[in-house]
Amino acid sequence: MAEGNVAADQLRLFIERIERLEEEKKSMADDVRDVYAEAKSNGYDTKTMRKIVALRRMETHVRQEADALLDTYRNALGLA
Amino acid sequence: MAEGNVAADQLRLFIERIERLEEEKKSMADDVRDVYAEAKSNGYDTKTMRKIVALRRMETHVRQEADALLDTYRNALGLA
Amino acid sequence: MAEGNVAADQLRLFIERIERLEEEKKSMADDVRDVYAEAKSNGYDTKTMRKIVALRRMETHVRQEADALLDTYRNALGLA
Amino acid sequence: MAEGNVAADQLRLFIERIERLEEEKKSMADDVRDVYAEAKSNGYDTKTMRKIVALRRMETHVRQEADALLDTYRNALGLA
DNA sequence: ACGTTTGCGCTTTAGC
DNA sequence: GCTAAAGCGCAAACGT
């Protein structure tokens, strides 16, 4: 079949794009792991570091949610 | 079999306890749904309410994580 | 203000009712977790148990769907 | 303090590297999400696609396990 | 090295 | 029907 199965080809391309992205994602995760290992070899406590990272992420998230709530109030009250 | 299959009976009891608890959990979820509906019928905007609940939950969580981080520091430094 | 801010009070009460229910819901989830742990300490495989629970839930759901269908038929035929 | 707090600075740099990597990881996850959305708009069923990706990942994993086992045998037999 | 515990990603569910 | 959030299961990471 010279024209190929277009739909199947398209699906395959989508799948491959996803798999490629997931490989990159995994690569990033591995890099994170390496940084923790490097920090550990420099005498830092990784458990503490992980909690710091988690806390900072949560605080950022809370801030964003608070802003979103404020926007919701404004809209509910018709204040621009 | 007068003595019964003890292991099977025990497993069945565990399963039934789990199923009972999950029913209660679902019941609680239904109740939450009802409260939102009641609030809505009293003129409140449920979307805003949900954001408020979510924000309060997150703030509580951040506070708990901050405390946990402090404990981690204490342990890492050997301060009781 | 002796009369208080009625609307704000009412909203606060709704929020608190929701939060209380969600705490109970979480408590039920924790109990489920505990039962699985107890079963595990008695030598049962929790992964298998979870599959059993999921399967029974599906069967229950299927049964309910069949009953609902039967009701639909009855209504359509005017049979109470 | 011209010399700065070296340890604190080093820790901060580690944290920032981690946070940067996690942002990139999240970016990849968002891209994956976008590809699924694009596939969906082209008429594909994303749930099925996810199953295909999971299946292929498992097969890859199985293959890797088999290769690892083969290496173990080789080492055990002293065959480099 | 193993078992426990926590964090992360996915799946499923609820709301709009 | 779709989108967003929450609960669940899994897997990595820590401690023993």
Walk along chain A (80 residues) and give the pLDDT tens digit of each residue.
Answer: 666 788 889 999 999 999 999 999 999 999 999 999 999 999 999 999 999 999 999 999 999 999 999 988 888 777 76
What range defines the domain where residue C27 resides?
1-44
Same domain, B20 and B58: no
Same domain, A24 and A34: yes
Same domain, C53 and C34: no
Nearest CA in chain A to B57: A62
Q: In this structure, what token pair is assigned to residue D32?
A: 């994956």
Gap between the Cα atoms of C20 and B58, Å rounded? 16
| Contact of A29 with D28, CB cutoff 8 Å | no
Same domain, C37 and C49: no
Same domain, B29 and B67: no
Same domain, A14 and A31: yes
The pLDDT assigned to B4 comes to 74
3-state secondary structure of C45: coil
pLDDT at D1 > cutoff 80: no
Q: Do A29 and D32 touch (CB under 8 A)?
A: no
pLDDT at C3 > cutoff 80: no
B35 Cβ nearer than 7 Å to chain E strand: no
pLDDT at D3 > cutoff 70: no
| pLDDT (tens digit per residue) in B19-65 | 999 999 999 999 999 999 999 999 999 999 999 999 999 999 999 99
Residues of A in contact with B47 (CB under 8 A): 72
Tokens 């088999």 belong to residue: D66
Same domain, D4 and D33: yes
| Contact of B21 with C32, CB cutoff 8 Å | yes
Q: Do C22 and B36 touch (CB under 8 A)?
A: no
Chain mean position to CA B77: 33
Same domain, A31 and A63: no
**C1'-nearest nucleotide to the CA of B36:** E15
Same domain, C31 and C55: no
| Contact of B49 with B36, CB cutoff 8 Å | yes
B46 Cβ nearer than 7 Å to chain E strand: yes
Residue B16: pLDDT band by 50, 70, 90 thresholds? very high
Same domain, C56 and C28: no
Other C-beta atoms lying within 10 Å of the C-beta of residue B25: 18
Nucleotides of E under 7 A from a protein CB: 7-12, 14-16
The pLDDT assigned to B2 comes to 66
Distance from CA of A51 to the nearest CA of D (A): 11
Q: How many residues does chain D have?
A: 80
| Contact of B73 with A55, CB cutoff 8 Å | no
The pLDDT assigned to C1 comes to 61
Q: Do C56 and B24 touch (CB under 8 A)?
A: no
Looking from the CA of C33 toward its CB, the CA atoms found within 13 Å total 6
Q: Which chains touch C (3 or more CB pairs under 8 A)?
A: B
Same domain, C75 and C59: yes
Gap between the Cα atoms of B58 and B55, Å rounded? 5
Q: Do A29 and D28 touch (CB under 8 A)?
A: no
Q: How far is the CA of C5 from the C1' of E10 (A)?
A: 44
Measured CA distances, C66 to B26, B45, B49, C59, C62 (Å)? 21, 37, 37, 11, 6
| pLDDT (tens digit per residue) in D9-66 | 999 999 999 999 999 999 999 999 999 999 999 999 999 999 999 999 999 988 888 8
Q: Number of structural domains, chain A?
A: 2
| pLDDT (tens digit per residue) in C23-64 | 999 999 999 999 999 999 999 999 999 999 999 999 998 888
Global pTM reads: 0.89
Same domain, B25 and B5: yes
- Residue with the bigger pLDDT between A73 and C14: it is C14
**Partner-chain residue, chosen from B11, B28, B57, that has the shortest CB–CB distance to C44:** B11
